[in-house]
Structure 1
């Protein structure tokens, strides 16, 4: 995101960066003596097992939920999802908006009792930026002076705009004013990690309760692979007095029916993994609620020419083919007949609800139709040399485990066969494997999605920068890159928005991705659990959560 050169605008910008809702139960909140009689334990279903919960390497919502509760950045977000002090109790900003000086609180501790210092942030950030780390989210630190140059091997670590003044003072110099930089410091990639812990076991430190040392409200007590993770209240956390839960158990049920059955039987207390056909009845019965969710569900198309046969590479490298595949999809039918959770057909990549630098809605046009344009799709496919699908190689759609993803894939498989004459096979993979295949461009077409990291169009636009860590299609366009660079460094709000609109114009014309729908999030939650904070950025915060006596 971007920072304005006029600091008086900063408070307005930050007010819109992180927005969300807090789920408050139906009952009246008990006083301290009453809640003390109820076990303060929440069993939350993450769904898929995260590929990693190392905050410097994670790039999934599942891992992010764990990280925002186990760690704390320089800044945090409060119950209203507004940026608030975290490890840094205060900060100073230079008049030109490019230099931040963070003053760390001296009572911030790691879960093993050691103090959190500026060196822990320095290590975490330089580690994520180091080329050998290969962090998918390294680009999230490119706002720091020479961050991109260091990650690309064109600068030394000493050239980075990160300076440890002393144990409790961290000075950060940016490439350009960035209005949302404070919000970024509350994002997992900016969380501190301990050098002595990570360096002692680089591959396994984040999978063992003995070594998963964290500095947030909760600490790990158990990690049972593919089953559950248990976190308990961190008594070393500086704000522990305001943390009410004693334990969070994250279950890893990745089947919608199994998750709902576990919820109904009381085995879990909350899940957003629900069978599509049950969502509306759960909402009507008051067992579930629809939350805003700033994200787009889409299919990535491999345009890298890697890990596919020559005939597939030839087909997918043709822009008309990609456009035909997109035009042959009836998005309205998918949201009304398949997903059934209040989703809206995606007619752009950047979803509704994302605001520009002035706080205005960014979305200004529809690139796609909500229903299939069969004749238009057939013409484009014929222009590409595949009339009625003749001679077109068999495609493969990969999707991660989940009945919902499978149902969507089957619907699109049928649409492409009926409307274009293209044969498609479906491949189901567990989430960890699918994320790895996306990173390595090991797919033809793959289900994926993007949830905003902060409320600004750049969180979507910069993903498809050449060689970007989350650029799964392997897309490259020099003009697109120029516009991203200009928008990141520009200080004129109108020009910045214009550059990002032009970038999205290019992306939606080249079609390395096929948007399907804009997300909503339907969460089933026991009604005696209050103040569970559900962010439209995908995170769930448990710092203020309370379990009340169940209503009779």
Structure 2
């Protein structure tokens, strides 16, 4: 604790010496430097937090994590629940003052679905009529996709099947509009300060890599009068001790990253009034690259999964009350969905499977590598997993650490053998987890492609009966986690927020761990 206090004092001193600009209304610590802030490119929380401050879709998320009217002030739904007619607000403009209308949505959704664009989240739009066919290239005419500009303020969307979470999707980043003229003029540089044009509650002021990102209230935002925080500084701090020091010394006001809890201080921090937790739809798991030996063998994958004692991680390392995970989907995902229980801790069976695969007692097993990114909790988990695989299987696993952006590139490019992963639900439905592993999903990143799995997810999407829909999802999840063992679930997240509730309002734990800046205000 003495070293902790000294570090805090040092940070105060350094900040006092180097302060040369007014403090932002809100200083927020993000867990890393965003890979991108293009709403159609981002797939990670650190990027989405900024993208959702800069842009807005037909709907927007409130502080409780629920979808509310956004650019669309109202909508109607046909009795068969397959056609939505959205009516845009009359005062919607881009931050440069140019009008924003339904053609912006047509352009933006076509951009996401264009195969050459390579949007990892393009499959989110597959619920729209013919969207999948267009994305896969079997349909060339985008006018056949179920999105129509009835007029400049009225957008009609036709779905393939009734989709209970479609309104939630309308608040998700991939469905946000982006400015066609700016993108066509500046190309990939359109997201830089000075060129970026947005439509959300904030605009981009500065973006100083590894320093800060400055956001300013968008005075042309349709609801600007209700946005209290005029300026926000987003700090890309990935070291938990540094982040907590910033918060405790008043240099930062808010942290909402569960990875920012120093493991050595977890017990003490949990007792503080500024420490807040709550369950949410998030899971921590490991991916196998099934295209690279030895993990192209499902017996070996299952052996690795069966040799994990999850309680050694949740009780010894994370210590936040996380639930041990035996499925990808966490409790509460969707209506009455009960995920099938995957492989449990069974080291004897794990050793038998490894022997059947040709490596009795781990003899002759090649050295493999586990990929993670540099946070103390990630390092501690990696070391614990490494020890369990050595103890129960007799195999050696090397640990490879990469910075956040490089780690993401390695995972997406399948330049790994085994890696840490996590997923936070984009909406409250099992599909937000299970659709990630469709053969065509840009977020799959395992090399695994299963026609049977794809067909089960597609059938669930067509199914109107909730009970049968859930049964189809259960069959798919069993195939993913147990039968083919493409991933190893470890635990289900608990959300963590650091803030002073007696001073700051508009922050609360919610099931999708989304905390919009526009909802926040000082008391």
Provide the TM-score with structure 1 as the length reference.
0.87
1:538 maps to what in 2? 513
**Structure 1, unaligned stretches of length 5 or more?**
1-37, 306-312
Q: Deviations over 1:54-112 (max 9, x none)?
A: 00111001111112222111012334333221101111222222211111111112111
Alignment of 1:8-407 (within 5 A): 41-156=25-140, 157-206=142-191, 208-271=192-255, 272=257, 273-305=260-292, 313=293, 315-355=294-334, 359-360=335-336, 362-369=337-344, 372-407=345-380
Match of 1:449 among 419, 422, 430: 422
Q: Once the 2 structures are TM-superposed, how far is the Cα of residue 364 of structure 1 from its aligned partner?
A: 4.7
Q: Once the 2 structures are TM-superposed, how far is the Cα of residue 213 of structure 1 from its aligned partner?
A: 1.3
Secondary structure at 1:193 match in 2: coil
Secondary structure at 2:419 match in 1: strand
Q: Once the 2 structures are TM-superposed, how far is the Cα of residue 39 of structure 1 from its aligned partner?
A: 7.9
Secondary structure at 1:109 match in 2: coil
1:19 maps to what in 2? none
Q: Deviations over 1:307-360 (max 9, x none)?
A: xxxxxx2x21111111110111110010000111221111111111212xxx22
Question: In 1, distance between residues paired with 2:495 and 2:59?
Answer: 26
Aligned Cα RMSD in Å? 1.5
Of 67-76 and 440-449, the range deviating more from structure 2:
67-76
Question: In 2, distance between residues paired with 1:280 and 1:108?
Answer: 48
* Number of residue equivalences: 496
**Structure 2, unaligned stretches of length 5 or more?**
1-21
Match of 2:463 among 476, 480, 490: 490
Q: Is 1:514 matched up with 2:488?
A: yes
Q: Deviations over 1:113-151 (max 9, x none)?
A: 222111111111110110011000000011111111111
Q: Once the 2 structures are TM-superposed, how far is the Cα of residue 366 of structure 1 from its aligned partner?
A: 2.4
* Contact 1:72–1:191, Cα closer than 8 Å, also in 2: yes
Secondary structure at 1:408 match in 2: helix
* Contact 1:282–1:524, Cα closer than 8 Å, also in 2: no
Q: Once the 2 structures are TM-superposed, how far is the Cα of residue 433 of structure 1 from its aligned partner?
A: 1.1
2:385 maps to what in 1? 412
Q: Once the 2 structures are TM-superposed, how far is the Cα of residue 253 of structure 1 from its aligned partner?
A: 0.6
Question: In 1, distance between residues paired with 2:213 and 2:189?
Answer: 15
Question: In 2, distance between residues paired with 1:200 and 1:96?
Answer: 42
**4+ runs deviating over 6 angstroms:** none
Secondary structure at 2:489 match in 1: strand
* Contact 1:42–1:547, Cα closer than 8 Å, also in 2: no
Q: CA distance change for structure 1 residues 364 and 349 in 2, over 3 Å: closer, same or farther?
A: closer
Secondary structure at 2:205 match in 1: strand
